[in-house]
Amino acid sequence: MRSAPRSLLAAICCAIALASPATAARLSAAQHAETLAIWKKMVSIPTVQGRGQMPVMADYVADLLRKGGFAVEDVIVEGSGDATTVAARYRGTGKTGKPILLSGHMDVVEARASDWTRDPFTPVEENGYLYGRGVLDMKFGNAVMVFTLLKLKQEGFRPSRDIILLLSGDEETEMLTTQRLAKQYGVAELLLNADGGGGLLDPQGKPVAFYVQGAEKTYADFEVTITNPGGHSSRPHADNAIYDLALAIDRIAAYQFPAQTNELTKAYWSATGKLVGGKLGNAMQAFAANPDDKAALATLRAEPEYVGITGTTCVATMLSGGHALNALPQKASVSVNCRIFPGVSIESVKAKLTEVIANPKATITTLGAPVASDASPLRPDLMKALRKGVDLSFPGLPIIPQMSAGATDSLYFRALGIPSYGVIGMFIKPEDDFSHGLNERAPIASIDPALLLMRSLLLDLAK
C-alpha cells in the first residue's frame, strides 16, 4: 500500500504553504532522466500476481545493480514466480554496526486495460505526470532506491555499515515473501521503506508538509458465534441465537476503546492541529496535550478520517445466521474487524470483546494469524537526517510523524523490533492519489526531491 496523507488536505481550509516552492538544490538532467527511465521500465513489467512477471522484474533490478558495480554474490534473487525476492547488499566498511535496510515491493495491484483510459503497463508521460499501474505504489520508490544506490556506487561512496535493499514480491497479497525477507535480514539498525510517508501538496501544487510513517495499526479479525439447540419456529422462546447475537452486536457498537496516544501520534496531532486550525484543529491540539480531554476526543471520533488515530477500533463487518425459514436458528455469527493501536496486544482486544459481549454462550475466535506491530520511536538521528534531506528541496517544510491504518512490509520488521520508517519523497496532491485505483498517476517533478532525500538519508545514516 501507499499511505498518502490525503485526508489532511481535505481538512485544511486555508493552509499557508510554509515552505518556499523553489527547490533549493537541483539534480543534473542526466540523473533525472536515468531515474525516469528506470521508473518507466519497472512500470512496463506487469508485476500483477499470477502473471509470472516477478522474476522478470527481479532480474531487471539485479542486472542493473551488478552492471553498476555490485558483486554478483551480493545481489541475491531468490524464490520463484510471485514469491521472487531481491536482496542486494551494498557493503560498508564495517566501522559501525548493524545494516540499514531499504524496503520496497515489486508487485502491483491488478489493472484491467479495458477499464483504463491508457494501457496500464505502457507508461505514458502527460502534463507532468507519469501514468501507469504502480507509478505510485510503488515503482517510483523502487526506482529512487535503485538509482540512488547505483549513483553512490559510481561515486565510490563507502558506507560505514551495510545497506541492504530488500524487494518483496507479494506485499499486496499474502506478504509471504516479506515474512521470508524479515526472517533472513531481521537484524538491522533501522529500515527505510519507500512505500510510506511522503509529501503533501496543496491544490496549487505548493508543499504543505512531509510525512514520516513510523507506525501502523495492527489488523485483526474476530468471529463472534452463538449456537443454540434450535427447534421448530412454531414454538418460539426467548433463547434464540439471533437475538443473542443482536444483543452482542449492540454492545460492541456501544463500546468505545480508550483514547490512546504515543510519542508519534502526539506529534501528529499537534502539528496537524496547527495546519488544520478551527474547531477540529483545536481539538487535535487539545487531545495531543491531554488524551483525557473528553470533548476533544468526541470531536475527533466523529471524524472517520481521524477516529482510527485516537485508539483501537472494532467494527462489525459481516453477518450470518440461521439455516431455514421455518426453524429456530442453531447458529448466528458476526465478523468483527479491529484496528489495534500499536502496543496493544491482540489477545487483550479479544478479552475486551468477550467482556463487552458478556454472554457465556458466545465464542470468540481469532481469524487468520494477525501480527502485532509496535510504533517505531522517533529516533533523533532519523529525524535530523530527514530534516536535512527535506530541506534540500523545501527548506523549513513541517515534518509530521504519521501512523497508517493499513499495513506495509514494515509490519514484519517492526514486529522484530527494527525501527521502520516510511520516507519516500513523492510529493502529491490528495486528488492525485489513485494508488490501487484507475489511471494511477504520479508527478514526475517528484524525482528530484525524492532522489535528494534518499541520497541524503543514506549519506547521513551510514556515514
What minimum distance in Å lies between the beta carbon of 386 and Zn ion? Answer: 20
Q: Nearest approach, Cβ of 166 to Zn ion (angstroms)?
A: 14
- Alpha-carbon torsion (77, 42, 207, 2), positive or negative: negative
Which 116-145 residues touch Zn ion, going by CB under 5 A? 137-138
**Binding residue for Zn ion, selected from 107, 170, 195, 391, defined by CB under 5 A:** 195
Is residue 1 within the footprint of Zn ion (CB under 5 A)?
A: yes
Peptide bond just before 383 cis, omega within 30 deg? no
What would the grid cell of residue 348 be?
A: 487483550
Report d(CA 197, CA 60) in Å as an integer. 26
User: How many whole angstroms separate alpha carbon 116 and alpha carbon 103?
Assistant: 29
Q: How far is the CB of 407 from Zn ion (least distance, A)?
A: 10
Query: Which of residues 162 and 195 has its CB atom nearest to Zn ion in the complex?
Result: 195
Residue 440 within binding range of Zn ion, rule CB under 5 A: no
- Pick the closer one to Zn ion by CB: 213 or 310: 213
Query: Which residue lies nearer to Zn ion by CB, 1 or 9?
Result: 1
Interface size with Zn ion, residues (CB under 5 A): 5
CB of 1 or CB of 332, closer to Zn ion: 1
Q: Of the listed pieces 6-14, 73-81, 96-104, 189-197, which binds Zn ion according to CB under 5 A?
A: 189-197
Min CB(461)–Zn ion separation in Å = 22
| Cβ 408 to Zn ion shortest distance, Å | 6
Instruction: Please report how close the Cβ of residue 205 comes to Zn ion at its closest, in angstroms.
Output: 24
Is residue 215 part of the contact set for Zn ion (CB under 5 A)?
no
Grid cell of 268 as nine digits: 501528529
Neighbouring CB atoms inside 10 A of 376's CB total: 28
- Select from 119, 124, 43, 96 the least CA-distant residue to 381: 96
Quick one: 182 or 259, whose CB is closer to Zn ion?
Answer: 182
- Min dist CB 137 to Zn ion, Å, is 4
Residues that bind Zn ion (CB under 5 A): 1-2, 137-138, 195
